[in-house]
């Protein structure tokens, strides 16, 4: 199975929580008591459907074929005020950056960003109250109790948005995968044709002083990605969780500034709030350029964005680029 088929960032699941157990309508009876009062216990709560963050997971693959998740029902109450057992919860472990939506309305309900964080997505039904709750001066021996609350059946969408400090943004063949392979231990597939990256790749980039940051190589944007062309919005959404956007344009591009503006416009079309994120520009494949040519090209670069000429293959400008990114992450 290739890495592409292993990367699943969207699943739709039917979640059914457990029904609450019925309360008991028992009346106390023993050898010494012929007509005791009510002592029926409460029913147990039905099981919840819960999501839990797991930093060891990076895909929703393990949930891809799990279309129905059913939590246990609560047990009925018993005599002598015994409460019924709670239904067993169903816990779905998910990668950090998972967003849970209502499948009908597409409304975002919650997101998981911390390891070990748990949130209920479909609550179990409450247990019914036993008859002792209903005792009153006018009704000393109530012979009724509450039935438990029914469980809920809801369709949920789980959508993964990668959590990374730096998201690489560029057209296909801008050198994103090559940069990631050079600065981290990630081993993305690299070839000399567009759309090599069919899935996002994550790499941890070592920085000075034993510090590090996470970089995500996201599949190349083409004009019209916001309308779903090419690999489209499915991968643009991963950029939403990045702290800094690293725009990458090759040095042999006909017009670096124009290419940068097209990339910027695609992101703006998708989600204008992304323009608030810090941006850094890397001009890639710059190993053939001399200082004079770089000085000339710099005059044509977009204003107001820190830039660095780099060559991943020749390891040129990589340290300086890391410095720029670290500063942008921590500003």
3-state secondary structure the chain: CCHHHHCCCEEEEEEECCCCCCCCCCECCECCECCCCECCCCCCCCCCEEEEECCCCCCCHHHCCCCEEECCCCCCCCCCCCCCCCCCCEEEEECCCEEEEECCCCCEEEEECCCCCEEEEECCCCCCCCHHHHCECCECCCCCCCCCCCCCEEEEEEEECCCEEEEEECCCCCCHHHHHHHHECCCCCCCCCCCCCCCCEEEEEEECCCEEEEEEECCCCCCCHHHCCCCCHHHHHHHHHEEEEEEEEECCCCCHHHHHHHHHHHHHHHCHHHHHCCEEEEEECCCCCCHHHHHHHHCCCCCCCCEEECECCCCECHHHHHHHHHHHHHC
Q: Which of 143, 160, 177 is the last residue of a domain?
A: 160
CATH code for the domain of 238: 3.40.50.300
* 263 and 287 both lie in a single domain: yes
Q: Is residue 2, in this structure, part of any structural domain at all?
A: no
Q: Are residues 173 and 306 in the same domain?
A: yes
User: Both 230 and 173 in a single domain?
Assistant: yes
Identify whether 4 is part of a domain.
no
What band does 192 get if pLDDT is binned at 50, 70 and 90? very low
Mean pLDDT of 72-96: 96
- Give the residue-averaged pLDDT of 305-315: 93
Q: Let me know whether 171 and 319 are in one domain.
A: yes
Tell me which residue range forms the domain holding 32.
10-160
Question: Do 282 and 172 share a domain, yes or no?
Answer: yes
pLDDT at 112 over 70: yes
The answer, yes or no, to whether residue 45 has pLDDT greater than 90, is yes
Read off the pLDDT of each residue in 109-121 and give the average, rounded to a whole number.
95
What average pLDDT does range 299-310 have in this prediction? 92
- Please indicate, yes or no, if residue 38 is contained in any of the structural domains: yes
- Choose one of 160, 187, 211: the last residue of a domain: 160
Quote the number of domains for the chain: 2
Contacts of 186 (CB under 8 A, 6+ apart): 180, 201, 202, 203, 217
Residue 180 within any structural domain of the chain = yes
Regarding whether 292 and 204 lie in a shared domain, the answer is: yes
Give the per-residue pLDDT at 233. 52
Global pTM value = 0.68
Decide if pLDDT at 276 tops 60: yes
Q: Is the residue at 5 inside a domain? A: no
Contacting residues for 307 by C-beta, under 8 A, at least 6 apart: 280, 281, 282, 283, 298, 301
Residues 195 and 278 placed together within one structural domain of the fold: yes
Both 155 and 184 in one domain: the answer is no
Q: Is residue 280 domain-resident?
A: yes
Share of the chain above pLDDT 70, in %: 87
Residue 187: is its pLDDT beyond 60? no
Same domain? 153 vs 172: no
Q: Which residues are annotated as a binding site for GTP?
A: 170-177, 195-199, 217-220, 284-287, 311-313
Check whether residue 175 and residue 324 sit in a common domain: yes
pLDDT band at 122 (very low <50, low <70, confident <90, very high): very high
Residue 1 lies in a domain: no
Write the CATH number for 146.
2.70.210.12
Q: pLDDT (tens digit, 9 = 90+) per residue, 138-150?
A: 999 899 999 999 9
Is 132's pLDDT higher than 50? Answer: yes
Give the annotated binding-site residues for Mg(2+): 177, 197
Residue 3, domain member (yes or no)? no
pLDDT digits (tens, 9 = 90+) for 254-265: 899 999 998 898
Residues 229 and 149 in one domain: no
Tell me: pLDDT of 33 over 90. Answer: no
* Domain boundary residue, one of 107, 132, 160: 160
Q: Which residues are annotated as a binding site?
A: 170-177, 195-199, 217-220, 284-287, 311-313
* Predicted confidence (pLDDT) per residue in 196-249, tens digit: 444 667 778 888 888 888 888 776 555 555 555 544 455 566 677 778 999 999
């Amino acid at each position: 199975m290739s890495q592409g088929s292993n990367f699943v960032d969207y699943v739709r699941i039917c979640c059914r929580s457990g029904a609450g157990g019925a309360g008991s309508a028992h009346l106390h009876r023993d050898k010494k008591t012929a007509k005791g009062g009510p002592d029926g216990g409460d029913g147990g709560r039905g099981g919840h459907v819960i999501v839990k963050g797991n930093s060891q997971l990076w895909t929703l693959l393990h949930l891809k074929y799990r279309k129905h998740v059913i939590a246990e029902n609560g047990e009925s109450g018993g005599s002598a005020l015994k409460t019924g057992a709670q239904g067993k919860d169903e816990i779905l472990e998910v990668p950090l950056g998972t967003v849970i939506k209502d499948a009908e309305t597409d409304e975002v309900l919650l997101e998981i960003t911390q390891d070990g964080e748990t949130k209920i997505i479909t609550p179990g039904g409450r247990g019914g109250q036993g008859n002792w709750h209903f005792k009153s001066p006018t009704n000393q021996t109530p012979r009724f109790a509450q039935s438990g609350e029914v469980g809920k059946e809801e369709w949920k969408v789980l959508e993964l948005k990668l959590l990374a400090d730096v998201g690489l943004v560029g057209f296909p063949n801008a050198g994103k995968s090559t940069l990631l392979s050079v600065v981290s231990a990630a081993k993305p597939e690299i070839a000399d044709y567009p759309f090599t990256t069919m899935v996002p790749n994550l790499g941890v980039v070592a920085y000075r002083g034993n510090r590090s940051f996470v970089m995500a190589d996201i599949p190349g944007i083409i004009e019209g990605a916001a309308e779903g062309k090419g690999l489209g919005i499915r991968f643009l959404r991963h950029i939403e969780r990045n702290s800094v956007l690293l725009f990458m344009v090759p040095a042999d591009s006909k017009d670096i500034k124009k290419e940068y503006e097209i990339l910027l416009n695609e992101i703006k079309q998708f989600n204008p709030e992304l323009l608030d994120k810090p941006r850094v520009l890397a001009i890639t494949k710059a190993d053939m350029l001399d200082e004079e040519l770089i000085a000339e090209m710099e005059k044509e670069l977009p204003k107001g964005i820190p830039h660095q000429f780099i060559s991943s293959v020749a390891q040129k400008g990589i340290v300086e680029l890391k410095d720029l990114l670290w500063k942008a992450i921590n500003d």
